[in-house]
Amino acid sequence: MPSTASIRLQIETTLANRVPAALTLKIKQAPELFSTGIGEVDGVLGGGVPRGSITEIVGAASTGKTSFGLSAIAAITQSGVACAWVDVSDALSPESAAAANIVLKRLLWLRMSAESKQRVTDKPWPRLEQALKATDLLLQAGGFAAIVLDMSDVLPQHTMRIPLATWYRLRLAAEQARSALIVLSQAPCASSCAALALRCEPANIHPFSDNGETALFERQQYALVRERNRNESSPFLRKKPPTRAEWRAETLWTRVR
């Protein structure tokens, strides 16, 4: 009885002339990366967030998701290209964006409207639907190097209801537009469609005062864990253990006092 190796060789030889690419191992090329502007994070990510795919950043409130997004968009807009911020909860502060060194004239800020002044947690679906459609349209239009879909203030039970087909469509659109789609949420919702999965966690908190002098959070300490990175160039995709990085973000009032 012929072995598996000999059968494979026979099949490859038969198909060599008809279908040259049959059974040929395809090596995935490393994507272009956008620096996040945070040296510690770029070191863990191998250079930054990938272009042409989805990067999902999850975590509870006050764990650094928005600060991470602002830093990444700042670094990208400073390179001379346009970005967009799809704001589901109308929570983005232009002052904070400017303080993060974002080039505002290169940032399109889309604020999702609502029929009434209700809390986002009450009926978030109208805003979510608007945000997803807007993100899709921006990707289809092209011209944006990076797009942030900010769902940070939407509860997980709502974001996890987004159909997987929607994420597949956004992933394909991001790939065709060569845009980095950065998703901010409290819990994972993009599933396998996210090429890069990151988790924000609380880090060490410094005391309010030092030697009797009061200090009001001049620097906020954050921690970020890389849970999955499918964009690494390797003929065999090996799952690596989570890697952790800690970084600091300067608070706005330290620049204006």
pLDDT band for 202, please (50, 70, 90 cuts).
confident
Domain 27-256 fold: Rossmann fold (3.40.50)
pTM of the prediction?
A: 0.80
Residue 52 predicted with pLDDT over 80: yes
Highest mean pLDDT of the ranges 45-49, 146-150, 209-213: 146-150
Instruction: Tell me how far CA of residue 24 lies from CA of 12, 21, 235, in angstroms.
Output: 9, 5, 12
Q: Where are the domains of the chain?
A: 27-256
- Predicted confidence at residue 116, as pLDDT, reads 42
Whole-number percent of the chain with pLDDT over 70: 75
123-132 burial, b if ≥16 CB within 10 A, otherwise e? Answer: ebeebbebbb
φ/ψ of residue 249, rounded to 5 = -120, 135
DSSP string, the chain: ---HHHHHHHHHHHHTTT-TTTTPPPPPPPPPEE--S-HHHHHHHTSSEETTEEEEEE--TTSSHHHHHHHHHHHHHTTT--EEEEETTS---HHHHHHTT--GGGEEEEEPP-SS---TTTS-HHHHHHHHHHHHHHHHH---SEEEEE-TTS-HHHHTTS-HHHHHHHHHHHHHHT-EEEEEESS--SGGGEEEEEEEEE-PPPPSEETTEE---SEEEEEEEEEEETT---SS-PPPPPEEEEEEEE-THHHH-
Lowest average pLDDT, out of 23-27, 52-56, 96-100, 135-139, goes to 23-27
- Of 40, 27, 99, give the one whose Cα is nearest residue 255: 99
Residue 75 predicted with pLDDT over 50: yes
Q: Could you read off the pLDDT of 157-201 as tens digits, one per residue? A: 999 999 999 999 999 999 999 999 999 999 999 989 999 999 998
Lowest average pLDDT, out of 109-113, 145-149, 211-215, 243-247, goes to 211-215
Q: CA torsion sign, 47 to 34 to 169 to 27?
A: negative
